């Protein structure tokens, strides 16, 4: 019996699948002028009236700076409306063109979704459950506020 895959083997397998998905997403969305990361922000904004880059970053597990960059790109594409907030932050909301853009993106990504949905339902369920388990193990735990570094 072969030994179970090592942590390194798991990372390699995940990276291979991730690269394939990224390439498919990029190819599908290139004509729409939207990246998959931008599409994720649009989907997040679809369900809320308004948000800001800090909240987008928290929800997508990316930095506020990365979220701000994605919002600026979407604003240049006239897919979101932005306005200044207190301090140096900005508010953001998906506009009518952005809502229409989501439908076009979903149409463009349909073939990838169909490929994944062709997998046996038990395999899809197991994959999602196992990935959630890996996420739970890997996600950094917040440090309690009362624990401070001595220096």
Give SS3 for 80: strand
**pLDDT tens per residue across all 151 residues of the chain:** 889 999 999 999 999 999 999 999 999 999 999 999 999 999 999 999 899 999 999 999 999 999 999 999 999 999 999 999 888 889 999 999 999 999 999 999 999 999 999 999 999 999 999 999 998 998 877 777 676 665 5
CATH topology of domain 8-138: Arc Repressor Mutant, subunit A (1.10.10)
Place of tokens 């701000």: 68
pTM of this structure: 0.83
What is the domain partition of the chain in residue ranges?
8-138
Q: ∠ CA(13), CA(113), CA(125), 5° rounding?
A: 60
Asked if residues 93 and 45 have their Cβ atoms less than 8 Å apart, the reply is: yes
Packed helices 7-29 and 96-117: angle between N→C axes, nearest 10 degrees: 130
């Amino acid at each position: 019996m072969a030994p179970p895959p090592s942590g390194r083997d798991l990372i390699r397998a995940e990276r291979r699948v991730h690269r394939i998905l990224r390439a498919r997403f990029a190819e599908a969305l290139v004509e729409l002028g939207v990246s998959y990361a931008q599409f994720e922000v649009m989907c997040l904004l679809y369900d809320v009236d308004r948000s800001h880059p800090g909240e987008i970053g928290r929800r997508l597990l990316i930095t506020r700076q990365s979220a701000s960059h994605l919002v600026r790109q979407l604003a240049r594409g006239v897919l979101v409306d932005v306005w200044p907030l207190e301090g140096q932050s900005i508010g953001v909301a998906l506009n009518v063109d952005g809502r229409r853009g989501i439908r076009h993106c979903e149409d463009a990504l349909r073939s990838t979704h169909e490929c994944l949905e062709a997998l046996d339902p038990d395999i899809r369920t197991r994959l999602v459950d196992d990935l959630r388990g890996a996420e739970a193990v890997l996600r950094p735990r917040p440090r309690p506020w009362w624990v401070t570094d001595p220096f």
